Amino acid sequence: MSVTAEDFTRTLTRVPAPVTVVTTVDHGGRRFGFTGSAFSSLSLDPPLVLVCLAKTASTHAAFVAADRFLVNILAHDQHEVATRFATSGVDRFAAGDMTPAELGLPGLPGAAARLGCAVHAVHEGGDHSILIGRVLSVHIGQETPLAYLDRGFVRPVPTN
């Protein structure tokens, strides 16, 4: 039995996902970033996280060559940042809302959390690469995190 691409993607719209903007800087000081919902914790000891990046992304070459990256866990009021860092052909940093944060990498001051990572491994994942980061430095913010569900941005609310 096979699953169509539409069934696959529609099914995954039912999965609440985090919204991150992952950033890095190359040896020339050029900044790169993309919006990624395929983010997960992976290991406690050592502390590892992963994010999946499409091989077709304009930022792919920079991230697979990087030795570190920063995961910004977006806050509920940062959906415009998420949209900008998912938009092709624009200067995603032009708004000036990123400042040097953990590991000196571009970070959002109002993020719900940030994880500064050393690249631990890069694995194959079909049409994506799986970037595994060893967490070296964290920042825990106060804001409610943003989530992505049913093809839209949502603000999670407690059930009680």
Ligand X SMILES: Cc1cc2nc3c(=O)[nH]c(=O)nc-3n(C[C@H](O)[C@H](O)[C@H](O)COP(=O)(O)O)c2cc1C
Q: Which amino acid is at 21?
A: V
Distance of closest approach, residue 90 Cβ to ligand X, in angstroms: 9
Tokens 């020339």 belong to 28
Residue window 3-22: x/- pattern of binding to ligand X, with contact defined by CB under 6 A: ----------------x---
Q: Does 48 bind ligand X (CB under 6 A)?
A: no
The interface with ligand X within residues 77-96 (CB under 6 A) comprises 82, 86, 88
Q: Does 59 bind ligand X (CB under 6 A)?
A: yes
Q: Which uninterrupted H or E stretch holds 81? A: helix 79-84
- The answer to whether 105 and 24 have CB atoms below 8 angstroms apart is yes
Site pattern 97..126 for ligand X (x: CB under 6 A):
------------------------------
DSSP-assigned letters across all residues of 83-122: HHTT-TTS-TTTT---EE-GGG-EE-TT-SEEEEEEEEEE
Binding interface with ligand X (CB under 6 A): 19, 34-38, 52-54, 57-59, 82, 86, 88, 128, 148
